[in-house]
A = this chain, B = another copy of it.
């Protein structure tokens, strides 16, 4: 039996995206790689799962390499569930998701399919990391990311974060020499100010396209947004207990009787 770590690789941009192809290449240098990824882009899917439709899985080989690959008709979270329950013969040592084409820093984490896959693995007690590069384009350049992604993955394999902790890693879109290092930070406060672009279709019916811009609402110097702006890679430890503990006691004093 191989002593190399078993690495589950997934993403939300789809199995053919340059980001996941880069990630697979890096992971092949660390361990035994099994890829289970969506067959088409799933961006903005949040933590969706397929509860009312069938899931198809196909064994494929997208490019050369020792990795085993499956493409799946479901969401990123579906991919992780299927991998663990059906496709892998043992629990993976780590799950890596990405590299996403575009930021998942600040509030973006809650809309992120990349992070939902990583969180799903975290729920299963598997150390996991979501990687994102701050370039939304399909032909984003992942060269500068490679050594950092490898280093962070090896560090997680060695240190094993507490159960249920997932790392949200965002990488600035800079040449390697301009990346200043890696910063562990908190999720910055921010929000999207949407502008719905209202149009009329050829049948005379109105419809909308969602667009908008991100607004940073946090001037702390310990946030992911701040780290990225200053040329650092941000690492935010994330958890899935959403309880607002600070508010619990206040709300207990309300009069619900």
Interface check A247, CB cutoff 8 A: yes
A16-54 contacts to B (CB < 8 Å): 41, 43-52, 54
In contact, B241 and A184 (Cβ under 8 angstroms): no
- This chain's copy number in the assembly: 2
Contacts of A238 in B (CB 8 A): 242-244
Least CB separation from A222: chain B residue: B248
Q: Are B248 and A184 in contact (CB under 8 A)?
A: yes
Q: Is the CB of A210 within 8 A of B256?
A: no
A123-B152 in contact (CB<8A)? no
Contact indicator per residue, chain A 86-117, by CB within 8 Å of chain B (1) or not (0): 10000000000000000000010111000010
A243 touches B187 (CB 8 A): yes
Q: How large is the interface on A (under 10, 10 to 19, 20 to 34, 35 or more residues)?
A: 35 or more
**A198 in complex: contacting residue of B44, B77, B86, B210, CB < 8 Å:** B86
Partner of A44, one of B52, B184, B191, B248: B52
A162 within 8 A of B: yes
Complex Cα distance A248/B238, Å?
9
Contact A52 B47 (CB under 8 A): no
